[in-house]
Structures are given as structure tokens and as C-alpha cells.
């Protein structure tokens, strides 16, 4: 559903039509206790995230929500134990705080935002975008319709700013305790790959619809 959401007047808001959509994900209950029998939904553990989409990009690279990211988010709801006692999760899973997750090709970052709300220990949300430029034209790659310097803006907004979190490069005395990060990651750039790995020492990599160019 499209809902009103406090807007931050960054350059995206100044130049493009945006919409804010709220998604609610349910955590299934598997087992038997005094409140639930069988495989039902435990509404007390719903996760709600609000995502900004943009009109530019024609559905490409950080402008819109892909259905596969919603499917991945639903799966994530079944993967983690909550911190403390939780009989609803897979008994082989770890508490959410023990997971350190990298999302590849995150786009607008729905799965990363779900991980944030599930209190995953560390979330590094990555995507590929061109180096910062003042040009609005994205040639010589005509399929990439988002201006160079706006790549990654929605991802940072959705994962960090909308939750009141600081960006990676901002000064923060408690940076070691930070939960969420956004970074550019080129899979063919060995240095960027090493830096991302060192950043959170991930024990899970997630991705949805990361290959769709010819």
C-alpha cells in the first residue's frame, strides 16, 4: 500500500516523483504452544518496513522494489531466532544478533531493511553503481538510466536515514556498535570485495534478482 511518509528533501525528492510503500512481513509459527497450533502466523512478530521508490530508472538499479526481494524477505522471516527464547524458529538457526549479513545487488534494500528490523547483528547492504559524477547522463551505458551521482541514494535512505541511522562515512563514536552499513561493491574489484568482507566478517550472503542484464 502507498502511505504518507515524512520526506527528506534530498536531490531525489527535488527532481523526481517518489512514492513510499509499506510492507508487512509475517513470522510463521511452527509447533504447538498455548496460543498457536500447527503452522500459523504470529502477528506479534510482524516486521514492517517503509521503502522509497523513484520514477526514474524504469525499474532498474535502485529505483523500484522487485518481487524477488519480497520473496527473499519472507524467507528471512523464517530463518532467525529472536534473541532470547523463541520456539517459533528453526531449531538449527542462530539468534538474530549472531548473524552478519551482506546483501548483494540490494537495489532499494527491502531484505536489508527486514534484517535491520529483525535485529540482525550486522547488515552490509551493497550494490554496484558508477563512480560519483556531476553528469546526469549515464552514457555510454544507455540501460543505466539513473544519473551517476544518484546511484545508491535510495538504498542509503531506506536502510539508514528512514530509521534515523547515520551513514557509513559520518563520524560516530560508537561506529563499532553500528548495525547497518551501505557500500558500493563491484564483484570484479578484489579490493572492494576484501574491504566488504573485513568490514563485518559475514556468515551469510543474500541476494535476489542480481543478474538481469544481457
| Residue 110 backbone dihedrals phi, psi, to 5 degrees | -60, -50
In angstroms, how far is CA 181 from the centroid of its own chain? 10
**Beta-carbon count within 10 A of 173 CB:** 6
Q: Per residue in 165-186, pLDDT tens?
A: 765 544 454 456 789 999 989 8
* pLDDT confidence of residue 56: 58
Looking at every residue in the chain, the average pLDDT score rounds to 75
Whether the per-residue pLDDT at 116 is higher than 50: the answer is yes
CB distance 146 to 63 below 8 Å = yes
Higher pLDDT, 153 or 146: 153
Closest among 142, 73, 152, 150 to 105, alpha carbons compared: 152
Burial of 13 (0-12, 13-18, 19+ CB in 10 A): middle
Q: Per residue in 66-102, pLDDT tens?
A: 899 999 999 999 887 655 434 455 555 688 899 999 9
DSSP codes of every residue in 12-71? HHHHS-EEEEEEEEEEEEEEE-SS-EEEEEEEEEEEEEEEEEESTTTT-SSSS--HHHHH
Pairing of strands 37-54, 18-32: antiparallel
* pLDDT confidence of residue 28: 72
Q: In the predicted model, what is the mean pLDDT of residues 7-17?
A: 71
Q: What percent of the chain has pLDDT over 90?
A: 36
In angstroms, how far is CA 214 from the centroid of its own chain? 25
Amino acid at each position: 500500500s502507498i502511505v504518507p511518509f515524512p520526506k527528506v528533501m534530498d536531490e531525489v525528492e527535488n527532481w523526481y516523483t517518489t512514492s513510499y510503500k509499506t510492507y508487512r512481513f509475517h513470522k510463521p509459527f511452527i509447533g504447538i504452544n498455548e496460543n498457536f497450533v500447527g503452522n500459523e502466523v504470529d502477528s506479534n512478530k510482524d516486521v514492517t518496513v517503509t521503502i522509497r521508490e523513484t520514477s526514474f530508472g524504469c525499474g532498474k538499479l535502485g529505483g523500484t522494489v522487485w518481487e524477488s526481494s519480497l520473496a527473499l524477505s519472507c524467507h528471512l522471516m523464517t530463518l532467525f531466532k529472536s534473541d532470547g527464547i523463541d520456539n517459533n524458529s528453526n531449531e538449527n538457526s542462530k539468534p538474530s544478533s549472531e548473524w552478519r549479513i551482506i546483501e548483494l545487488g540490494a537495489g532499494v534494500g527491502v531484505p536489508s531493511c527486514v534484517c535491520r528490523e529483525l535485529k540482525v547483528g550486522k547488515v552490509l547492504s551493497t550494490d554496484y553503481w558508477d563512480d560519483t559524477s556531476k553528469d546526469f547522463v549515464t552514457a555510454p551505458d544507455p540501460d543505466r538510466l539513473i544519473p551517476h551521482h544518484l546511484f545508491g541514494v535510495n538504498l542509503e535512505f531506506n536502510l539508514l536515514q528512514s530509521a534515523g541511522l547515520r551513514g557509513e562515512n559520518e563520524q560516530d563514536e560508537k561506529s563499532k556498535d553500528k548495525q547497518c552499513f551501505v557500500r558500493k561493491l563491484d564483484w570484479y574489484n578484489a579490493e572492494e570485495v576484501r574491504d566488504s568482507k573485513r568490514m563485518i566478517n559475514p556468515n551469510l550472503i543474500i541476494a535476489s534478482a542480481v543478474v538481469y542484464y544481457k
